[in-house]
A = this chain, B = another copy of it.
């Protein structure tokens, strides 16, 4: 019952997803991809696409899920490094920037669809970012014994700042990237400092 057929189908589905991911770039957004282009890249007849996805939107949502996975992988990577000691903020930001070098296009997908024209896409991206934020929030709360709301606000602001820096980083050379990293770290420290002060105030 291995299912030769089901296996082959899964493989083709994967090819479609990879074809789409492969076509994403700085110059090419998901919404500018056509069904025919993706099918062609995957080595399929245009109409065969429908055996796997009812339309491009469905594929797009799958890609956003994929991006969410990648984001969690980033988290794990950062955690591992943090356990080995060093500045938490610095390690997190540096890990994120490194991550961008290999996953720029997936990150671009998230950035773009977050403000895209499809409500479903926007919701899906928001959800992924929300999970990401919550994990960070948990961490902050237990590490710094912060007031719950302050911890969430800090986490949210931190994610926003890092994502924005990430977007900028995609457009500049290595040298400027390093400076951007340095500044982002400073921003997160300012934020942390403020959160600590604010939390004890309340």
A residues whose Cβ falls under 8 Å from a Cβ of B: 26-29, 31-32, 108, 111-112, 114-117, 119, 122, 126, 149-150, 153-154, 156-157, 160-161, 164, 167-168, 171, 183, 186-187, 189-195, 197-198
Contacts and interface: CB of A to CB of B under 8 A. Distances in A.
A201 to B, nearest CB: 8
State the 3 A-B residue pairs at the shortest beta-carbon distance, nearest first: A194-B194, A193-B194, A190-B194
Contacts of A191: 157, 190-191, 194
Contacts of A32: 31, 117
5 contacts: A108-B115, A153-B186, A157-B157, A164-B164, A190-B195
A157 B8 CA distance: 49
Contact of A193 (B167, B187, B198): B198
Contact of A116 (B112, B154, B189, B198): B112
Nearest to A122: B171
Given A161-B160, A190-B153, A115 B111 contact: yes
